[in-house]
Amino acid sequence: MRGISSLPHRGFISGHYGLDRLNLQVRGEEEWVAPMWDETYTSVCRHHPDVIAAFESPYGRLALLLRHTLIPLPEDRARWLDDTRRVARAVVANLRSAGLVDDVTILQWQPLRQVAHVMRRWDCCYESDTAGDAELGDDASAFALTDGSRNASSGS
């Protein structure tokens, strides 16, 4: 059954998330597909203020970055999980109504290293217009630039 990526999802895209289009074609592990993003999906995302960005892999997989934090505090985790599930279900249901049939990965539910990879390597198909949304994306991008080390500037 296709749907929202479940929690926790350690396998994230069957281990192929780092392969580019050429490697996919040469190795024959998975065929490259034409981009599937459609302007109707942009319209759906605009109607959901909790969607900051949408990304598409070279082989057609979608990932959504929500307004919610990437790392909730332990005492906020239950509420964070409820909120992200509620928002993800609503957004994905509307994307399905617009014709989307493939799975959607919610970046808040992925390890930071994978979030950074998606933000760095996948095509950004949608970005919200809200200037305040940039902070969450900047946090993941900073993580990506330090190759995953939390305190790269302090030498630890």
Whether residue 44 lies inside any domain: the answer is yes
Q: Has residue 122 been placed in a domain?
A: yes
Q: Give the range of the structural domain holding residue 133, as residue numbers without chain letter.
A: 18-154
- Output the pLDDT for position 30: 54
For residue 91, give the 3-state DSSP assignment. Answer: helix
What pTM value is reported for the model? Answer: 0.68
Q: How many domains does the chain have?
A: 1
Cα angle 86, 135, 5 (rounded to 5 degrees) comes to 35
| Strand order, beta sheet including 62-66 | 104-106, 62-66, 51-56, 123-127
The percent of residues in the chain predicted with pLDDT above 90, rounded, is 51
Question: Considering only 13-22, 25-34, 68-77, which range has the smallest mean pLDDT?
Answer: 13-22
